[in-house]
Structure formats: C-alpha cells, structure tokens
Amino acid sequence: MKKLSLSKKQLMKFTLIGIFAVFVDLIFYYTFLNVLPKDSSLIIKNEEISKALSFLCGMTFSYFLNKFWTWKKKDRSKRRVAKFALIYGISLLVNVTVNSVLIFLLHNYKYLIDLPNKYLIAFLGATCVSALINFAGQKFWVFKAEKN
C-alpha cells in the first residue's frame, strides 16, 4: 500500500479539524444570531457581528488543534501566534464580506429569493473561501517547515 505524502496527511488533518471548526463556528453563529439584538443603531448589522464572533470561536479551536496535530509544533512562539492571527484576520475580513454579499444576493435577486436556508448557504460559501486562505497561509507561512 502506498504511503500518503506529508502534504496529503496535513491536508487531511487540516480538513478534519476544519470540519469540526466549522461546526463550532456554525453553532456559535446561530447562537449569536438569536441572542444578540436584531435591531441595532450600530452601523454593523447583527449578521456581521454574529459572523465575526463565531469565526473567532472557530479560529481559536482551529489554532490549537492544527498547531499540535496537523503541523506538530510544540513551541510557544509568539511570532507564530501573530502570523496566525494575521492570516485569520485577513480570512475573517474575507469571510464576513463574502457572507454579507451572499446574504444580500440571496435576499435581493429574483432567481435566488426562493432558495431555502439563505444563512446556511452564505455561511458555507464564506467558509469555503476562508478555508483556502487559511490552509495556504498556515502551510506556507505560519507553520512552514524549518529548513535544515
């Protein structure tokens, strides 16, 4: 039987952790949507605040599991945490933006108005885009293998 390459193993672990992180994100997203006030005088809408907070919950979960299991790092590098936070900060902005754009499109375009589960569709679309950013950023920058 052919052994899996290190990159394939990392991708499989990252994907598995990512699936669990998505569930963490999703659970908190719907929780915040239902707990936070719907009508706010703030410029930022309930959906955006909920998505940002839930994303941060998933991010924290993902950091610790990926650090130890996927990338096998045991050090306490503050630089690595800062890099991870930067990648996830970029990913967060992209995630919230994609989520908001999809919610707008799903509610305002006549061919999409009748689709059920608009928030779930927007959530999944935003998650796919940010997952690509996160994997590339972690593999090639945050947890990049040291050269001997």
Cα–Cα distance measured from residue 61 to residue 14, given in angstroms and rounded to the nearest whole number: 12
Query: Whole-number mean pLDDT of the chain?
Result: 87
- First CA to last CA across the chain, in angstroms? 30
Residue 98: is its pLDDT beyond 90? yes
Cα–Cα distance measured from residue 60 to residue 110, given in angstroms and rounded to the nearest whole number: 38
* pLDDT tens digits, one per residue of 20-35: 998 998 899 999 989 9
The number of C-alpha atoms within 13 Å of 38 and in the hemisphere containing its C-beta is 2
Q: What is the pTM of this model?
A: 0.71
